[in-house]
Amino acid sequence: MTDRVALVTGGSGGIGRATAERLAADGTAVGVHYAGNKDRALEAVAAIERAGGRAIAVGGDVADPDAMSEAFAAVETAFGGIDVVVHTAGVMLLAPVTEIDLDDLDRMHRTNIRGTVVVAQQAARRVRSGGAVILFSTSVTRLSLPTYGGYVASKGAVEALVPVLAREMRGRDVTVNAVAPGPTATPLFLDGKDQATIERMAAQAPLERLGEPADIAESVAFLAGPARWVNGQVLFANGGIA
């Protein structure tokens, strides 16, 4: 066991849950954040505890600074501080640029941009020396796939934020990076796609498969722990697709 503590937003499912479980396996105490599904977060906590780890569930809208302040405070109260913040929570709504519903665009930007800034603000104020802040982008910022315009615009903003925040953390011994997954077998990616589309996208990577949440969690664990000389970067975890 270690004395390190992490908060993983969107930790109740998909990449977030895999990340929470991976960090817990390293001995890190984990705050498993959820936005609306407390039961799934409690399931993740129970799975971590069954494996011998330490975890609590914390809720809140990532775009609400008061809610996120309370979530961070709950983790600090339970475990004594925060060393790692992993912000996986996000929304993806697809449409051609000419057909984007502006309400959908506002929803994505509220969660993916404002939410990232809110979480980054709390992380910058609270993460202890030697810690890490890990945000999430997407490999689609390089693939330029049709219908992803609004989503990519929101994640491009996250990539632009990373090196700026890394420099603003000068003197704190805290790294700031982002992970940009490629096609990964999660509901966020799979929902709304037919089997032919899924197979075609899986075949694009030289490794000829979709990523698994555990693959992305390994990249996060690298940035959260041993990768102290990686800072201000976007790590593309996509099996070579881009």
Residues 109, 115: Cα–Cα separation, whole Å:
8
Nearest CA among 123, 119, 136 for reference residue 83: 123
Residues 167, 44: Cα–Cα separation, whole Å:
34
**Of the listed 34, 79, 136, 151, which one is catalytic?**
151
Output the DSSP codes for 124-154: HHHPPTT-EEEEE--THHHH--TT-HHHHHH
Residues 179, 87: Cα–Cα separation, whole Å:
10
Residue 151 falls in the annotated catalytic set: yes
User: If DSSP codes are grouped into helix, strand and coil, which group holds residue 13?
Assistant: coil
Positions marked active-site: 151
